[in-house]
Amino acid sequence: MNVVPDTSVVIDGRVSSAIADGQFEGATISVPEAVVAELEAQANDGIETGWDGLEELTRLAELADDGTIDLEYVGERPSAIERGHASEGEIDALIRDLAEELGGTFVTSDVVQAEVAEAKGLEVEHVSPETREIETLTIETYFDEATMSVHLKTGMVPMAKRGDLGDMRYQEIADEPLEEATMDEYAREIVDAAKESPDGFLELSEPGMKIVQFRDYRIAIGRPPFADGIEITAVRPIAQTDIEDYEHADELKERLLERQRGVLISGAPGAGKSTFAQAVARFISDHDYAVKTMEKPRDLQVGPEITQYTELAGEMAKTADALLMVRPDYTIYDEVRKTDDFEVFADMRLAGVGMIGVVHATRPIDALQRLVGRVELGMIPQVVDTVVYVEAGEVNTVYDVRTEVKVPAGLTEEDLARPVIQVTNFQTGEPEYEIYTFNRQVVTVPLTDEEGGPGGESGVDRIAKQEIEREIRSIARGYVDVELKSQDRAVVYVEDDDISSVIGKGGGRITDVENRLGIDIDVRTHDENPHYGGGGGAGGTTANGRGGGQAAGQLVTPEITSRHIVIPVDGNHGETVEVQAGGDYLFTATVSRGGEIQVSRGSAIADELEGAIDRTEPVTVVPSS
């Protein structure tokens, strides 16, 4: 008896099992070189099926050594072009041709292969793929009621995130590290469960990475070369809530049912955003709205009446096109992160679909600001009219977003009226932010004192100072300092040589600036500045080195990189200096031989220095006394 197996039955390991059952005992097993080439290519790409097939070939070789079967390799190795068209059936055709040439029994677990071979008159043995019943996964034993995620890696002790929402602890959950063989068995069991169980599916399958959804668990499996070892991360929701469990539930329910809306559910990782989104999905579905989801991966826990969609042909934009044909009332878009996601969200919302997006944000306003630059400013309230910020499993803040044509808060001239996005606290009814275009820049201005600058400086004041400074800097050559006296009056301090340039002939230039900004500006020299000069101040150091008895300072321009704040210093190499911002001492440092000071970002000093830079305070370097 001559048996010609194809790739599918070798991967399944069914040839050796059939020999063990006596079915092919004493037969000649003719393995096509095309099968070997396909398995080798898969193994080189890190695809598990390739390794499974190579292991089966090893078992067949051992059976041949024992005299149980005769083993031979037949045919030509396929060309690169033929391997490139494997998905179109080129390799399958080569294997069938060999079976026909040898007059052997063609063995396959591929239904399509079996049908084609029978149609061509071959003797076919179709064996169903081997399956195993998986009730529970071994990895589930690492979970308890308080476990949100389990993190396993070869050579490492198992870890887990456990606790309550907003109070998770990353902790060891075993005593011994896991061996590679154990991790490999866990990974294979998970993938098999996804393929064979009606409760699971493969969400993503790429060389080195698989993402599986099995019941409530979302499991990511990384393998070399993508990862530096086998790694398994399993996540599941630890709570299922109803919208009634949240504060302000009645107002939110009324708002969601009143009409289809654009909602962003925001919060930090692990804050409970998806849990709240699930509660919202169930609520609106129970109230006669057709609800769908867009997820990658699909891990929201919703009822069977809500269809969960993922990327269509690798693009959420195509999923959106399909959904527009379905016309749901609401779509839950989980994980709106990239520019493409925001554009798809906006397109669907503007097409009239109610949209609820889940967004990472550390502050309530940050979720809305992520739309700036991705969606035309005037369209934002039509795309998103509600922002819900979730913190520690609770609804912390709800914002109402709308557009008004008005003079922005803090400005006074009627000709400064413009469309302003007003962000209002839904619970208190008080406006908390305004977003608008000012001198071709989009600015977000806090209206409360909570986010004010030093000395109670409000967001409006900071924006006004920045705009005045930007205007004057375009005229003056030296250092510029701005002091805001009131909402409609400011004092600008410049170098002596810049006075005439800034004021202009007959005051025409500064008048133009005043008209553009809608504010009265008094121009003075630094000598008259009480904060930096000798005009009655407390002895601070001026930007041009004229201080109240202190050593002369050097005005510097710090550069912010991904890891450091670099302060270039002209001279003083190897000397100890003081770094000041706005005349206030920040820290003492030694200038390097290269003529700079580096401060690591993330430190307290760096945070204070970045804050000063953001407030456009002059940064000076003064020799240490």
Q: What is the pLDDT of residue 207?
A: 82
Alpha carbons 133 and 275: distance in angstroms, whole number: 31
Predicted confidence band of residue 133 (pLDDT cuts 50, 70, 90): low
Packed helices 249-258 and 273-286: angle between N→C axes, nearest 10 degrees:
60
Percentage of residues in the chain with pLDDT exceeding 90?
34
- Mean pLDDT, range 72-79, rounded to an integer: 87
**Least trusted range by pLDDT, from 129-138, 224-233, 259-268, 378-387:** 129-138
pLDDT at 458: 58
Cα-based distances in Å from 357 to 263, 295, 341, 371, 394: 6, 10, 10, 12, 17
Q: Which residues pair with 566 in a beta bridge?
A: 559, 598
Residue 157's alpha-carbon distances to 142, 160, 162, 175, in angstroms, are: 12, 10, 16, 7
Give mean pLDDT, residues 7-21.
89
Which tokens belong to 389?
Answer: 């910020």
**Both tokens of residue 555?**
């005005």
**Contact at 8 Å (CB) between 574 and 566?**
no
The pLDDT score that the predictor gives to residue 49 is: 83
Residue 173 pLDDT class (50, 70, 90 cuts):
very high
Length of the chain in terms of residues written: 625
Q: How far apart are CA 237 and CA 218, in angstroms?
A: 9
Tokens found for residue 507: 């005051």
Amino acid at 148: M
Amino acid at 153: K
Mean pLDDT of the region 383-411: 89
DSSP helix/strand/coil, 440:
coil
Q: What is the pLDDT of residue 379?
A: 92
Model pLDDT, residue 346: 95
Residues 6 or more apart in contact with residue 561 via CB below 8 angstroms = 601
pTM for this predicted structure: 0.60
pLDDT of amino acid 187: 93
- What is the arithmetic mean of pLDDT over 289-318? 90
Express each pLDDT in 202-230 by its tens digit. Answer: 888 888 889 898 888 889 999 988 899 99
Q: Among 71-75, 290-294, 477-481, 582-586, which is the least confidently predicted range?
A: 582-586
Handedness of CA 66, 67, 69, 70 (dihedral sign): positive
Looking at residue 543, what is its pLDDT? 34
pLDDT band per the 50, 70, 90 thresholds, residue 480: confident
- The beta strands (E) that lie in 77-134 are given as 105-108, 124-126
Work out the percent of the chain whose per-residue pLDDT is above 70: 89
* Consecutive H or E run containing 585: strand 584-590
Highest mean pLDDT among 64-78, 429-443, 486-500: 64-78
User: Is the pLDDT at 514 greater than 90, yes or no?
Assistant: no
pLDDT at 375 over 60: yes
Compute CA 594 distance to the chain's CA centroid, rounded to the nearest angstrom: 38
Write the pLDDT tens digit of every residue in 555-609.
Answer: 888 888 877 888 988 877 778 788 888 877 777 788 887 788 888 887 777 888 8
Q: What is the mean pLDDT of the chain?
A: 84
User: In terms of DSSP bridges, do strands 520-525 and 489-494 run parallel, antiparallel, or are they unpaired?
Assistant: parallel
pLDDT-derived band at 624 (thresholds 50, 70, 90) equals low
How would residue 423 be classed by pLDDT, with cut points 50, 70 and 90?
very high
pLDDT band (50, 70, 90) for residue 538? very low
Predicted confidence band at 454 (pLDDT cuts at 50, 70, 90)?
very low
pLDDT tops 60 at residue 87: no
Q: What is the pLDDT of residue 383?
A: 96
pLDDT of 62 reads 94
pLDDT at 616: 79
* pLDDT at residue 551 in the model: 39
Query: Which amino acid is present at 242?
Result: D
**pLDDT digits 0-9 by tens, 310-332:** 999 889 999 999 999 988 999 99
Specify the 3-state DSSP secondary structure of 328.
coil
155 phi-psi bin (left φ>0, alpha ψ -120 to 50, beta other):
left
Q: How confident is the model at residue 51 (pLDDT cuts 50, 70, 90)?
A: confident
Q: Are 427 and 280 in contact (CB under 8 A)?
A: no
pLDDT at residue number 415: 62
Nearest Cα neighbor of 25 from 74, 73, 70 is: 70
